[in-house]
Amino acid sequence: MTDKDKKTDSDKTDEKRDLIRGVVSRVKNNLRVTKVVATRSLKGAKGDTFAGFSAQWDSVQEDGTMGLEDTGDSGVPINAMTLMDAKVAGYLLAMQADVAAHEHGVASGIISPAYCEKAVYGIKANYAKLIKDLFGE
């Protein structure tokens, strides 16, 4: 065996990295999401509130599978979201959970309406920035 035939540790490491990148890229490109969940809690001196949402993609049934049991040629559910769509859905749903937790906090007297209004303004601005950043804007 010549020196040319021997693989260095660096070459083996590079091959492993390439393999990992390939698998991650393939999985990411083929990943489809059918459900998004977001929960939030708001803690205050007077107690805690909790808000949670669960959203099923393209379904009106509670945590149902409306059409999701059907798959296309690739075996991927037909009515599933791409990873990009799922990220946007996650941001939108999480924003609603954040806002609801604050509204619940006002209703239960944990936070003031003025604090809630300011917090909700910031929450919406932060999620808008996340969505813009997702699209490279």
Q: pLDDT for 87-101, tens place per residue?
A: 899 999 999 999 999
Determine the Cα–Cα distance for residues 106 and 91; give it in Å rounded to an integer: 23
Low-confidence ranges of the chain (pLDDT < 50): 61, 63, 68, 71
Contact 103, 56 (CB under 8 A): no
Whose tokens are 């393209």? That residue is 58
Q: What angle do CA 33, 85, 52 make, to 5 degrees?
A: 70
Angstrom distances, CA of residue 90 to CA of 14, 16, 19, 58, 70: 34, 32, 29, 15, 23
- pTM beyond 0.75: the answer is no
Neighbours of 2 (CB within 10 A): 5
Q: What angle do CA 19, 23, 24 make, to 5 degrees?
A: 115
